[in-house]
Each structure stands twice: as C-alpha cells, then as structure tokens.
Structure 1
C-alpha cells in the first residue's frame, strides 16, 4: 500500500439499533474463526475512505488563516501555482488545473457556495465523507451551462429550512463534506486570470448570504500533531486506533441505507456507528497480521477490481462507477488509497500508457512519435479540454531544460499537412522547427497520462481512435528527417 478520492426514518431506526447506549453489538466472532480476518479486511476496506478523508480534513484545516494549500474549516483555500518538477507534494500532479478546496462541517450550519460565470473549464465537485460524488456544478455538470454563475445551497440531510429561489440545493448525507474546484490554467502566465476567478468564488453561511452581511470568518487553529501526511498517518494506525476512529466518525457521518449487509457483517467484530472495538478479538498475533494485511491491501484490491479498468487500444483508465461508488467498496477503497477525490467519468477520464505500439515499456533510452490521426483529437464537450503529461516511474514530473511537462489543446503545436498531429517523446532536444511538438521524457522509464476533461464518452466508446505511440527505427531523432522510417509492426494503442 502506498503511504504517500431518502428513507431517513427507516434508516434512523436501523442506525439506532447499531449505536444504542453502551455500543452493544452482536456476539463477536471468535478469534480462531477462519472468517475473522476476511471480516477484518472487508471492514478495513469499507472504513478506509472515511478515515483517510477525516485525516485529510485534519491536515487541510490545520491553519489559522487560509493559504494556497490549507484553510480553516468552512473556508476556501485557493492554490496559486502550477506544478513543476521541483514540486513533489503529490504524485502524478495535474499541471492543467489550479485547485480551490474547502472542508465543511454541516452539523448545524447551511452554506452558500457561488461558482462565478467563467469562459473556461471550471468544475466544482461536492463529496461526502465516504468519497461519494454527490454533485458537480459548472463544467462537467449534467445540467449546468458551464459559463453561467451557479449558486448552491449546501446542507446536511436533516435541513428543514427553505431553499431560496435561484439556488441549487446540494444535500450531503454526512456532516463532513468536501468541495474540490478545478479551474483550467494555460501555464504560469495565466495564473492571474485564474486568481481573478477564484476571488469571485464565495463560501459563506446561508444567513450571512441572505442578509448581505460582510463576512469575517473565524480564525482557525494550528496543532502540531496534525502536521502529518494523511495517508501515512492512517497507514500506521493500529487496528484499535483505526476502528475506534471509524466507529466514532460513523455516528455523525452515517453509512448509506444501502450498506445494511456490510454493516451487519462488521458488527460481528464491533465495527459500526458507536460500537466499541476491542483489538483483543484479533488474538495474540493480531498486530503482526494487521500490519501484513494493511501492507498488501492495495495489491489485493487491484486484483479484485480489474473489471473496472477499461482497456482502450493499449491505453487504460479507471471507469464507472468511479466517484459514484454505490456498494462497490473494494473499488472505492482502492481509489481512496491511490488518490482521493476522483471525478466521475462524465467529468473526466485519465487514460494511461506505459508501453509503445509493440508492447515494450516506454523509456527515455528510445525516441517515440505519438501520432493522432486527422479528426481524432481527444473528443470533449462544451469547454472540456485534453492534455498529455509525462511522469517518471516515481510518478513525479520529469525535469527538463524547457520546463515543459505537458502538451494540451492550448499548446502552440504544428499540425502535419494532412491534419494529423505528431508529438515527439524523446530525451534530446529536436530541431528548432519541431520544438513546439516536443514533450521531454528524460532518460529513464516513463509513462504518459492523457487527461480528458468534459469527455464525449459516446464518441470515445464508439468512433474515436486513440493515439499511437510508435518507437522510431534506430532511435533517430524524428525531427531531423521527416521521412524517417517507422517500424513496420505498428499496432494502434
């Protein structure tokens, strides 16, 4: 695992039966029962998104005032930079978007969020404590005109007030909520334009908005103990720490009514809303087995979720129901481990390629041509966009002499006479006339992500032909001679 995304009355009665005074549960399963560790693993996978989102919130809100990566609870943080190879804060960083984000506590307060009118991709994603995407507004939305202002009323499930005219009501079923806003940026020189959009965003309590009051947010707090890497923090939890945290979180962040079956199963080991977990149930070798289970959980989940990995002529991407999980807990758990806050496919997909048209691993020791046929640019809707980004085997951006990490639909590339496009994937600088089409790859192994925001999924699944990545014969620099021969065994990828 990497240490480094209705029926209220009936459900309330069900929840009360699980969290009645004293944390009473069903008779716990015996430590010698062979099914015990199957239940423990299922419980871990179910609870992991909740626990890691809570840890992420603690880290994110651990500040007195907003800064580019943190903000106090119920306040927006606005990033103001584009990732480069020098930034190693997160793996596989996105160099096309600038992020804004906020964590909300919806226990007693309703909030208004305003997404201003924009003429570029700007998408606001609303998630619950289990990483379910509850709604998306702006770009990528199923209903909004991406250019329009959108005013959202964000409430918890028990909100009984009115919804003011002109507001979109977003009901989050958990007290803990997370907003992730992605605004496309065209390189560092474009940051001031994104900043202007960010300054027009608004997040205030409902009463402040309705009364048109000047809002002065409360000062946050800083605690040294929350200055941690959230994933590493959760990874290093003992069984008792992990499940005690999960049990407490599930009280204010209740499981879905659809989770009845897994909740009944977890109750056998005292995992559930308000229950009291006792690590003694795991037996004398419990800590050792726990560490072993946690250490291999990512590889186990990859094996269990292969059906959700979509193949696309040599490229691959995580498909539905990503971001809208339902009861697919293994898939939800895997993506929470690999990267929180995943978009549903109607907002974005991220095809990846790590091999060429012959199935050989991509390496900077060779040179390649990424070829896109005429009329076969990645298909997007409305204000969607596409981008090719190179990463090393460590999943970080690769240093290069021109500080170029992606080529996208905003790049000043040169198309071929027949309308097709060639992107040069190579370590060495090409001839001057091909510089705009050069995507540096370093000298070691690499892989490439094709980010498609606002994808036209119908075309992608039917008529679109993905790009080919073809190794150039004898590893010649393909810009030196336009007639350079390409190996005959070309396979579309």
Structure 2
C-alpha cells in the first residue's frame, strides 16, 4: 500500500531558466481580460484551418500534461513526487513568484497527480471547520469532475474514494465516492490563509491530507515536453488521448483532427504532416495570441468569463483561452474571476495615472471571501506581482486597517505613489507600466453568478 504527503512547491532547486529550457513555463499568454470567443471560429475545412483547430483543441491537454510532468517526473524538479502523493505550497506568492502567471495571495495550494490505472485511491481529509477550502478533481481535459470542500461537502473530517470511470464496486464503510472523468487526474487543494501568521495552522491542515492506494501504479512515463517542437506537441497530445479516453462529444472534432495527425489512433506523423506542422506551428501559436481580445462579456472596463468555465464541454475556444492564462480554474459556483484592464474612459490602466475603485457596501456579494489583486503585464502578456513599499499585492476582506466610507462603501486607491495620510490604509500600489486587476470572489452569491451584480468602473483621479 502506498501513502503520501510531501514537500514544498518550487521553493528551492532548479532555477526558472533551467525549468524554462525544459518547457515548464506557461505559454506566452495574454490576460483573460483581452480574450475574444468569436475569433476562434474556423470556417474553412482545409489542412491549415484544421491544424489551427488542432492546436486550440490540444493546447489544454498539452499544458496539463506539461505540469503533470513537472510535478511527477522532471529531473529538474528536486521536489518531484510520485503519483498519489501530495506536493505542498508552503508560502504565499510575492513578486519573486514568476513561474506561473496570475498568482494569488488568498490561499496556499497543494497538488497531487492521481493515477487510477491500478484502482481507486483513498483520500483522507482532516477537520477544516469554518475555514474555507476546496479540493478540485481536474481531468486530463482540464474539466473539474468533482469537488470536496466547504461548498461541496462541508468542513468535517471525512474519507473519500476516488474512482476511475466505470468503477461500480462497493466502497469501504463510511467512505464517500468521488468520480474522476479520466484515469489520470489532478487534485488541486486551495486553503484560505490569513497572512503569514496563519502558516502553522494551514501547514497542519496540509499535512493532514492523505492519499493511499492498495496497488502501486506504474511509474509515470509522459513524454518530456518541449513547447518549441511541433512534433513534440502532437506526440504529447496523442499520448494524453491514448491514456485518457476523450469524451464521446469530442469524436466529431477528433475525426477532423486526424487529418493533421492528432488522435489516440494516430501514429507517427507522415512526412506531409510533419511539413505542415513545421511550417505553421508558430503561426498557430501567434494567431491564437493575436485573436484573443475582448473574450467574455465586458461592462465598465471589467470582463466577465463565460458560465462554462471549468467544465467546458465542446467549447474548445473557451478551454484554449483559459489554458493560455492558467490551468485548473474553478467552476463559477466555487469562485468568480473578473478582470479589468481599462478605466471608465476605456483607456488602458497604466502606472503613470492614479485611480480609485469604489466598491459598494457588501460588494462583491460572496459567502466566503474576496480579493482584488494587481499585476504588471509582461511583454508576452503574462501577469505577475511587482515589488512595492508595502509589499502589498492585493486588497481583500482580510486586509487589516481598511477604512470604509460612512455608507459602508470602500475606496481603493490604485497608484504608484502613496495617496498619503489616512488614504494609505486603502492603497493598492501600482507598477510602472500597464497593469491588470483581478477580482476574485469565492462562493459567490446568485447576483454575481447571474450577472445582476457588476463591478463599478475604475475611475481616473487627479
């Protein structure tokens, strides 16, 4: 029997440069606030159009497998863990956190790559009480197949059995069934933390998470990713499709993609397919980035994501767009993510200007917690924190000393220099150049889910 909990995520070991050489950085990405769904339409049925569709279909599978390789196989990751063991993130992100785009300062993360090919896996969860947490089961196609957590199951200690597709045998007494869509799945744990003083308690909860399995699965053997190599891209996507049968609804798309060598039954690329991928792979990547502007519904400078985020079905456009900015997004019932890159005048948010965001009393409407994070925009579109005098990268419902207005509203001052005096408690320091805001609302109330609530615009101020 195997059992495991382990380590600290990427706090030491290989440098980012070494990791990048092995293909572990997220693809060059644009903010979700700059994506467009309509631009993903591909009308022509020729090989070039099919290759573009294959890239969009395959990118989430590839990126998921790339991170799986990093966590469980990469020789450059000294903290890699075998499948069915946890890898824990022990510290909050700051401006040094540059490996994965759009980090947050709300939760600590734990991750486990679960291999169900040798049978079900037992998950033991400690008592969380009233502290927010979630454990998402994410399949090889980046859909959330099941949840444990404050919303889904409550804060009590419990034992669960993660079962592969089609498993219908009886479970141990007292255990609850969790359904995995694919034999290889990811457990992503998010635990709310109230700053560094809360580390010890959260680390104890992380250590209380346990995975056990009666039979040891075979050693992982994913193809090492190389995002610069089109043949590597196709080979890894096809490997994922072979070891994780795709949903029945994908068969129509996969029938078309076979023409460019993508599919579980596809062998090595033919000479003509190799030539096609070699000629147009870079174009497919650039086209995806060039086309992604205005994705989702935009209101007063804020972009609201589609309702199928996190369970995409055949909406390959949304799935590809989400994969570009970051894998493993929550479903809306768990968390709503909203993005701002424009002010009330429709102009880009830039560090040379001063802004104010006035949140009405009780906003955003959530039954758990909220935060507003600020990110500098890298040349490739990725988003990271910037160092600042307060070492503050977000304002949230847990930020100490916030001063509200007489009507209960909250003014957040977003600018490079301190607003001075009693406004500094509500200051969110901005980077020098372009920046983005990301509002997170966990356990959103119906008015946020159905669109009745809208964030107010970000106002330029003198």
Give the TM interval when normalised to the shorter protein. 0.7 to 0.9
1:392 and 2:376 correspond: yes
Per-residue CA deviations over 1:30-54 (Å, capped at 9, x if unaligned) read xxx9711222222232222222222
Query: What does 1:179-218 correspond to in 2, within 5 Å?
Result: 179-205=187-213, 207=214
- What's the CA shift for 1:153? 0.8
Q: Deviations over 1:221-242 (max 9, x none)?
A: 999x95xxx6xx2x3122x333
Are positions 1:168 and 2:176 aligned together? yes
What CA distance in whole angstroms lies between the structure 1 residues aligned with 2:276 and 2:143?
35
How far has the Cα of 1:163 moved from its partner? 1.9
Equivalenced residues, count: 417
**Misfit runs of 4+, over 4 Å:** 63-67, 217-223, 283-286
| Superposed displacement of residue 249, structure 1 | 2.7
Q: Judging changes above 3 Å, is the alpha-carbon distance between structure 1 residues 57 and 408 closer, same or farther for their aligned structure 2 residues?
A: same
Correspondence for 2:22: none
Compared CA separation, residues 218 and 249, structure 1 to 2 (3 A): closer
Give the 3-state SS of the residue equivalent to 2:384 in structure 1.
coil
1:106 aligns with 2:116: yes
Kept in 2: contact 1:139–1:454 (CA 8 A): no
**What is the deviation of 1:274?**
2.9
* CA deviation after TM superposition for structure 1 residue 463, in Å: 4.5
Residue 455 of structure 1 aligns to a residue in which SS? coil
Matched residue, 2:23: none
Provide the residue aligned with 1:422 in structure 2.
411
| 3-state SS of paired residue (2:450) | helix
Residue segments in structure 1 that go unaligned for 5+ positions in a row: 5-32, 209-216, 476-493
**1:124-135 map, 5 Å:** 124-135=135-146
Aligned-pair CA distance for 1:160: 4.4
Task: Give the deviation of 1:464 after TM superposition.
Answer: 2.8
Q: Is the 8 A contact 1:391 1:446 kept in 2?
A: yes
1:395-450 per-residue CA deviation (whole Å, 9 max, x = no partner) reads 11111111011110111211112222111112222334333211111333222111
Q: Which residue of 2 aligns with 1:84?
A: 94
Pick the aligned partner of 2:228 from 231, 236, 241.
Answer: 236
Question: Is the 2:300–2:344 contact (alpha carbons within 8 Å) kept by the matching residues of 1?
Answer: no
Partner of 2:27: 2
Among 282, 298, 315, which residue is 1:311 paired with?
298
Q: Report Cα offsets for 1:11-42 as digits up to 9, x if no partner.
A: xxxxxxxxxxxxxxxxxxxxxx9711222222
**Does the C-alpha gap of structure 1 residues 65 and 236 become closer, same or farther in structure 2, counting only changes over 3 Å?**
closer
Q: Is the 8 A contact 1:110 1:153 kept in 2?
A: yes
**Contact map agreement 2:102 2:326 (CA 8 A) in 1:** no
Work out whether 1:444 is the aligned partner of 2:428: no
Are the aligned partners of 2:70 and 2:77 in contact in 1 as well (CA < 8 Å)? no
- Larger of the two Rg values belongs to structure: 1
Cα distance 1:465–1:247, how it changes in 2: closer, same or farther (>3 A)?
closer
The partner residue of 1:282 within 273, 277, 290 is 273
Partner of 1:261: 252
Instruction: Give distance in 1, aligned partners of 2:157 and 2:47.
Output: 52
How far apart in 2 are the matches of 1:243 and 1:253?
15
Distance 1:460 1:269 in 2: 39
Give the distance between the partners of 2:76 and 2:286, measured in 1 at CA.
36
Tell me how far 1:336 sits from its aligned partner: 1.6
CA contact (8 A) 1:73 1:105 kept: yes
- Most deviating of 110-119 and 195-204: 110-119
Which TM-score applies when normalising by structure 2? 0.82
Distance 2:343 2:205 in 1: 40
* 1:353 paired residue number: 340
Q: Distance in 2 between matches of 1:150 and 1:311?
A: 41
Which of 27, 46, 57 aligns to 1:46? It is: 57
Give the match for residue 392 of structure 2: 404
TM-aligned CA distance change 1:284 to 1:442, over 3 Å: closer
Cα root mean square deviation, aligned: 2.9
1:96 aligned residue: 106
Alignment of 1:461 with 2:450, yes or no, is yes
Instruction: Call closer, same or farther: CA 1:86–1:286 in 2, change over 3 Å.
Output: closer
Counterpart contact for 1:65–1:72, Cα < 8 Å: no
Q: In the aligned structure 2, how far is the partner of 1:272 from the partner of 1:220?
A: 24
| RCO higher in structure (CA 8 A, sep ≥6) | 2
